[in-house]
Amino acid sequence: MDDACQQRLLFDAITDAQEGSGTGDVIPAPRFGKWGVDTDGMDRTAKPGDDFFQYANGTWAKNTPIPSDRSSYGVFNGLRDLSEARVRKLVEAYTPGNPATDGDAAKIAAIYRGFMDETAIEKLGITPIKPELDAVRNIKDKQAMAAFMGSTNGRFGGGFFGMNVGDDQRDPDRYTLYIGQSGLGLGDRQMYLEEKFAPQRERYQQYVAQMLQLAGWDKPVEHAAAIVAMEKRIAEAHWTRAESRDRDKTYNPIEISKLAAFAPGFDWSEYFNAGGVGQSPRVVMRQNTAVPKIAAIFNDTSLDTLKAWQAFQIVDEAAPLLSKSFVDARFDFRDKFMSGQPEQRERWKRGVAIAEGSMGEAIGRDYVGLYFPAEAKVKMDELVANVKAAMGARLEKLDWMSPETKREAFAKLQNFGLKIGYPDKWRDYSDLDIRNGDVVGNALRSRAFEWDYRRKRLGGQVDKLEWGMTPQTVNAYYNSVKNEIVFPAAILQPPFFDPNADDAVNYGAIGGVIGHEIIHGFDDQGRKSDGAGMLRDWWTKEDAAKFEVQAAKLGAQYESYVFPQLPGMHINGRVAMGENIGDLGGLTISLEAYRRSLDGKPAPVIDGFSADQRLFMAWAQVWRTLWRDDALRQQLVNGPHSPGQIRAFAPLRNIDAWYDAFDVKPGDKLYIKPEDRVRIW
């Protein structure tokens, strides 16, 4: 979901884990320093006011290589490695059997073991996707092509429009149908339109030709040139990323019967019918002015080019499941060239990802039975309550917000939902058809199963218990339509959260993340929904104007950061605005929450560090990140977050307590005058 940043009673989880065997052998999470901060990883010769990332992380950065199968590396990656190893232990312990009769464990085993059988996959070559390619070859007209695009949510292939079913932003209790711009193999429109990305475009065209050749498509070089030229036209029609995250502009309902007149040149009826959502009376367009332009491009493009484009989409998506020539070609472009990753990830790691993509919650049931103790949830409940109370205290003190807007803000905060660890209701995979030895078929049926699950809910009541992440996902999110914050089990471990760590460290790490997700409800886009999740303007014009002034100041700060290894590349302040506001506000309220938790008692000093110092150091260390140059370029172009090494220090520059804690003075490189510091929440 655009609003997202990626378990319940344990009795049934224990049963499933025992069914898989091997439950007694768990992989523990490592501690992070003696009291929650890695003091050995610091560089105490660095001046905090000049380079706080270096001060908190310099020795770690110097001594930590980026693994050869990674394009970047940091704390998140380390925890993902841990989660991945734990999941591997689970899936490799599941007993093979008959997936049709032997339950989820047998299905997961079939998915994973089938992928791990390289010899069988190599013998098959392109055979598993020949039916999909033949279906494209047999498309006789553009009406049939529109239908094929509509069907690709449940199969391999692509569309010029992205279609999904989700919570209705103006009717949060109901599911509705959305469409938005799509069709770009390079991601963001900048990659097609800016001269500095010419090398990426040239290499992409070579890759398209290579994949078409592997697919046995005629005239691969000529078709690749036509495909890239067509995608450039689509890129010109696309909204920018900043425009696409503006919730005031991206909710545009229209009756499906009127789409033919609004966006002619594309058979909308065939498209929606093939997607299984033709019964919907309306659809909500996101980038509404782009839709007719893209429909016109579809209409203007030759059927041969559209078919070649579709063939490329199929091969590009299916390549990781096919023989070595396909796997290597995709890796060489997508990972090695575009992101600078030297080596392919080990096969078991890719197999774990495929199993999780198909049956993530079934694996999650077993994961939490082994790795999420009840006391962690109790401690998290306490932390969240304290951070939420601190947010209320901050609201009370705001001098720039009127009483009218404050009342709405308090109501929204009061209505915040909270999900910790795992869902109360698990996904039912009994209707998912998985077969031993059928790697591509399993992937296709998994896609169809997932899309059927989503599309069949269209018009129905929203499932408020549903999670947007699996328990083993190292992440957290805020959902604006449900007005809830969600913390999967896998992020609730060191260095983010350790029940045995110093309280100041927990508040600086997971407390900052809790605050970050709460602030997403009040960032530049989250603030546009009310306490019930309804997209509506509850701000006075004067308050909104004051908010925008401070947000613009914050955006300018982030856009000023330079990346010497990538001349001309900068953070897009409008695109990363919500995340940057989340970091600043989240850390501000987590600091207040920690101080409130002391209940008037003095904070201890540990190893010579004050509580405030420990809190800020913990924040900086959870954002440890190292990048390969190409990966950093991709993050700046396509990612909504500022790079981790910036997140480690950028919000601190606007928090007075950081200056006091580390004696930051005028003349220090990170110093900002008090009157120029951004103060929003």
* All structural domains of the chain with their residue ranges: 66-125+322-370+425-461, 147-302, 387-414+501-676
Alpha carbon distance 94, 325 (integer Å): 30
In this predicted model, what pLDDT tens digit does every residue of 485-499 receive, in sequence order?
999 999 999 999 998
pLDDT tens profile 582-630: 999 999 999 999 999 999 999 999 999 999 999 999 999 999 999 999 9
Residue 547 has pLDDT above 80, yes or no: yes
pLDDT in tens, 91-147: 999 999 999 999 999 999 999 999 999 999 999 999 999 999 999 999 999 999 999
Task: Report the percentage of the chain scoring pLDDT > 90.
Answer: 95
Q: What is the pLDDT of residue 21?
A: 34
Within 10 A of 437 (CB to CB), how many other CB atoms are there? 13
Stretch (H or E) spanning 594: helix 577-597
pLDDT band at 18 (very low <50, low <70, confident <90, very high): very low
pLDDT at 223: 98
> Quick count: other Cβ atoms within 10 Å of Cβ 281?
10
Q: How far apart are CA 523 and CA 680, in angstroms?
A: 9
Q: Of all helices (H) and strands (E), which one includes residue 213?
A: helix 198-214
516 pLDDT exceeds 70? yes
Q: What is the mean pLDDT of residues 234-251?
A: 97
Contact yes or no for 300/219 (Cβ under 8 A): no
Mean pLDDT of 388-408: 96
d(CA 634, CA 636): 5
Rg (CA), the chain: 25
Residue 120's pLDDT is: 98
Q: Quick one: pLDDT at residue 23?
A: 41
Helices (H), 456-540: 503-508, 510-520
Is beta strand 477-479 parallel, antiparallel or unpaired with respect to 484-488?
Answer: antiparallel
Nearest C-alpha neighbor of 304 from the set 136, 462, 133:
136
pLDDT value, residue 375: 84
CATH number assigned to the domain with residue range 147-302, chosen from the 4 options 1.10.1380.10, 3.40.140.10, 2.70.98.30, 3.20.20.70: 1.10.1380.10
Does position 222 have pLDDT exceeding 90, yes or no? yes
Q: Both tokens of residue 625?
A: 């990140």
Per CATH, 66-125+322-370+425-461 and 387-414+501-676 having the same topology is answered no
CB 578 within 8 A of CB 547: no
pLDDT class for 19, splitting at 50, 70, 90? very low
Q: Measure CA 662 to chain center.
A: 33
Q: Residues 50, 406: contact at Cβ < 8 Å?
A: no
Are the beta carbons of 354 and 223 closer than 8 angstroms?
no
Confidence of residue 25 (pLDDT cuts 50, 70, 90): confident
For position 444, what pLDDT does the model report? 98
| Residue 131 CB partners (closer than 8 Å, separation 6+) | none
pLDDT at 544 over 90: yes
Conformational region of residue 245, where left means phi above 0, alpha means psi within -120 to 50, and beta covers everything else? alpha
Helix (H, G, I), strand (E, B) or coil at 537: coil
| 380 φ/ψ sector (left φ>0, alpha ψ -120 to 50, else beta) | alpha
Average pLDDT over residues 393-417: 96
- Which distant-in-sequence residues (6+ apart) come within 8 Å of 636 by Cβ? 563, 566, 569, 570, 571, 572, 643
User: Cα angle at 207 between 204 and 209, to 5 degrees?
Assistant: 115
Decide: helix, strand or coil at residue 175: strand
pLDDT of residue 8: 20
Enter the CATH code of domain 387-414+501-676: 3.40.390.10
| pLDDT for res 5 | 37
Q: Does domain 66-125+322-370+425-461 have CATH number 1.10.1380.10?
A: yes
Euclidean distance between CA atoms 650 and 675, whole angstroms: 17
Buried b (16+ CB within 10 A) or exposed e, 115-151: bbeeeebeebebebbeebbebbeebeebebbbbbbbb
Mean pLDDT taken over the chain: 95
Collapse the DSSP code of 628 into the 3-class scheme (helix H, G, I; strand E, B; otherwise coil) and give the result: coil
H or E stretch covering 178: strand 171-181
Q: For 476, phi and psi rounded to 5 degrees?
A: -155, 160
Q: What is the mean pLDDT of residues 669-676?
A: 98
For 348-379, what is each residue's pLDDT tens digit?
999 999 999 999 999 999 999 999 988 888 88
Q: What share of the chain is helix, strand, coil (3-state, %, to 5)?
A: 55, 5, 35
Section 523-536 average pLDDT = 96
